[in-house]
Amino acid sequence: MRRILAILLVLTLITSLAWAQSGDSPAKVVYPKRVGESKPLSELIKILKPGTLHKTGAGDREVPNRPPIQTPAPGEERIDPVWQRQSGESVATPSLTIEGLSSDDNAAAFGFRVMPPDVNGDVGPNHIVEMTNLLYRVWNKSGTPLTPPISTDLLWSGFGGNCEFNNDGDPVVFYDHLNDRWVLSQFVFSVAQCIACSQTGDPTGAYWLYEYSTPGNDYPKMSNMPEAYYGTIRNFNAGFKMDAHAWNGAKIRVGDPTAEMIVKTMTKPSGIDGVMPADLDGPAPASPPGGLFMGHQDSKNRLYLYTMVPNFPAGTATLTGPTYISVAAYSSAFAGGFFGTSIPQPGTTQKLDVIAPFLRFSLHYRSSTHQTLIANHVVDVNGADRAGERWYELRKVGTGAWSVFQSGSYSPDANHRWMGNAAMNGNGDIGLAYSVSSSTVSPSVRFTGRQASDPAGQMTLAEGVIAAGTGSQLGGSRWGDYSRLTVDPVNDQTFWYFGEYVQQTGSFEWNTKIGSFTVTSSANLSKNEPASTANVPTEFALAQNYPNPFNPTTRISYQLPRDTRVTLKIYNLKGEEVRALVDGHRPSGRYEVEWNAQDNSGARVASGVYLYQLKGEGVSEVRRMVLLQ
């Protein structure tokens, strides 16, 4: 014991000196301020009593969001060029839904409610773990609870210091599938980062405990990569500069008191915020890329990427970047200030935060014949504050540069979609899940997806419902601040989502839902027949819509004899564009698209005669159709 205390005393001194170095130092090496071991969770919950470790009756509270000193320059208000205006057609139902933690659980544990929940979670071979402000809970994979809702700081009982006596939230949990370990973390605002690593693959067992000094700590996000655990922190003490972190995961997993953290400060464009660390899905790459950190900048229509490679024995790290990646034009400027308080709800003027400047947690990394990053953030799709989910598949082949392989902005109707997350499974399918709300739809949880072989830039799975909201949030604008979509490590196919919705109208009445789904599309948004010799069309053709006349929807079929860029647009008799149904590259094949009689803004159009035009490279066809109301 004396030996451990002596080691910690020396390491604490080294840590203090490291943080005192100038900002242009190569790296800051930080050793844990405290190291310990928890009792098994199954024993800790026996002593769990509501309010035992906490001040109670202090009243419900909204955690203040902290905008940066400088608001980023907004992009130009515009119609999103990769806006997907229609939903897919195949039936989409979740495989399993589980009622997660709620504000009522906080009230029972602490005597007060808090918003936002900061919901996130992960799944392992046998367990599900969800974390929110200020609780966590464990289920088996069938949805049976294995623990009650547990105060996060209970893990640090007897540990002492900041982690035992503070429960500030901003939680993150991930399952390290390469080493069969669970990692749980939360911050002590502007002071410390608390990390717990399970000693086995059982999240109800004992944990190794760590406290790291992180001055200025705000909005910490952690991730798992083969050579280290990585993270980003908004440094509140340094004008919200973003710090990149690398933790020595190999030492953390065995309780080593010398488990160092290496910190580098990112040089980023002024006013840019919410940079996310990449998290590994699937097998470990043959050549680990290091830590990848990404954000977005709408005034320049680009993503920016940093790479950090730590050398723990030498106490050094390299941080390269930013590397800029051009993307389709977009705007993340919403009414309501930096965080865009503009999402409507039924029966109230209280609107919810978009938090468009931040890339969404998690940023997902996968390696196969090429490297892949799946990222998403919120955009204004119509230039009138309609929130939609912009998603990207980025690829890096060999030693080449990262570039956008495909992207889209999902907003198939007049509802708002935000606070989501996108991920890719081992088949190359992409899942996307998010919050949905409008003046007629209570805050809910929905999902969509696409198969790897589907037309680029399109979510072809019909929108499914994980949780249908039945109330509105009245006590404040905070929503999120994040959610998480993850991939099951057992089959590397099933998606699991942890999201927020509202069951009952009230000031702080939030709920969370855990839902799993697969992307098995049989009747996609654009159906492309197999490109065999018999099925490849020999001519460019646009068919008459069916039914015609129609109400409320009609189908339009067309065929392409070769790969080409194509548009399919609807016009009124004045020649004014009403709706763009297709705008992008398509391979040769036969396609079918549905029109729901809505214009580009999502409004229902009037009865009458409309023209629809198919244009390809050097060819064009026009037909008429009649809408009867």
Q: State yes or no: pLDDT of 532 exceeds 80.
A: no
Peptide bond preceding 102 in cis form (omega within 30 of 0): no
Mean pLDDT calculated for residue range 162-168 = 95
pLDDT at residue number 57? 42
- Token pair for 503: 């069951």
**Mean pLDDT for the chain?**
88
pLDDT digits (tens, 9 = 90+) for 569-621: 999 998 899 998 988 777 788 888 889 888 887 788 999 999 999 998 888 89
- Token pair for 98: 């589980």
pLDDT digits (tens, 9 = 90+) for 239-258: 778 999 999 999 999 999 99
The pTM of the full predicted model, rounded to 2 decimals, is: 0.80
For each of the domains in the chain, give its residue range(s) and CATH number, in order of start: 77-517 (2.130.10.10), 541-627 (2.60.40.4070)
pLDDT at residue number 5? 39
Residue type, 407: S
Buried b (16+ CB within 10 A) or exposed e, 580-595: bbbbbebebbbbbbeb
For residues 393 and 501, give the distance between their C-alpha atoms in angstroms, rounded to a whole number. 27
* 3-state DSSP assignment of residue 110: helix
Task: Write the secondary structure of 32-67 as one string of H (helix), E (strand) and C (coil).
Answer: CCEEEECCCHHHHHHHCCCCCCCCCCCCCEECCCCC
Other Cβ atoms less than 10 A from the Cβ of 468: the count is: 15
Surface-to-core class of residue 368, CB atoms within 10 Å of its CB (0-12 exposed, 13-18 middle, 19+ buried): exposed
Report which DSSP code applies to 299.
T
CA 462 to chain CA centroid, nearest Å: 20
CB 184 within 8 A of CB 155: yes
CB 75 within 8 A of CB 298: yes
Peptide bond preceding 481 in cis form (omega within 30 of 0): yes
* 3-state DSSP assignment of residue 107: helix
pLDDT at residue number 271? 60
Percent of the chain at pLDDT above 90?
A: 72
- 293-297, 521-525, 547-551: lowest mean pLDDT where? 521-525
DSSP string computed for 305-369: EEEEEEETTTTEEEEEEEEEEE-S------SSTTTTEEEEETTEEEEEE--TTSPPSPEEEEESS
Beta strands 403-410 and 83-84, pairing class: parallel
- 31-35, 326-330, 532-536: lowest mean pLDDT where? 532-536
Residue type, 56: T
For residues 80 and 542, give the distance between their C-alpha atoms in angstroms, rounded to a whole number. 26
For residues 447 and 60, give the distance between their C-alpha atoms in angstroms, rounded to a whole number. 31
For residues 8 and 17, give the distance between their C-alpha atoms in angstroms, rounded to a whole number. 14
- List the one residue out of 354, 435, 342, 383 whose CA is nearest residue 600: 383
Residue with tokens 């954000």: 295
* Long-range residue pairs from 124-127, CB within 8 A, at least 24 positions apart, any chain: 124/175, 124/177, 124/180, 124/182, 124/201, 124/203, 124/489, 125/180, 125/201, 125/489, 125/490, 126/201, 127/182, 127/202, 127/203, 127/204
Residue with tokens 């391979």: 587
Question: How many residues are recorded in the chain?
Answer: 629
Residue type, 334: F
CB 525 within 8 A of CB 87: yes
pLDDT digits (tens, 9 = 90+) for 75-86: 555 799 999 998
* CA-CA-CA-CA dihedral for 463, 132, 290, 227, to nearest 10: -120
- CA torsion sign for 480, 485, 489, 495 is positive
pLDDT at residue number 522? 36
For residues 528 and 531, give the distance between their C-alpha atoms in angstroms, rounded to a whole number. 8
Q: 312 vs 70, 250, 258, CA distance in Å? A: 35, 10, 11
Mean pLDDT calculated for residue range 10-35 = 60
CB 167 within 8 A of CB 54: yes
pLDDT digits (tens, 9 = 90+) for 401-410: 999 999 999 9
For residues 120 and 266, give the distance between their C-alpha atoms in angstroms, rounded to a whole number. 25
Q: State yes or no: pLDDT of 538 exceeds 90.
A: no
Q: State yes or no: pLDDT of 70 exceeds 90.
A: no
Q: State yes or no: pLDDT of 536 exceeds 80.
A: no
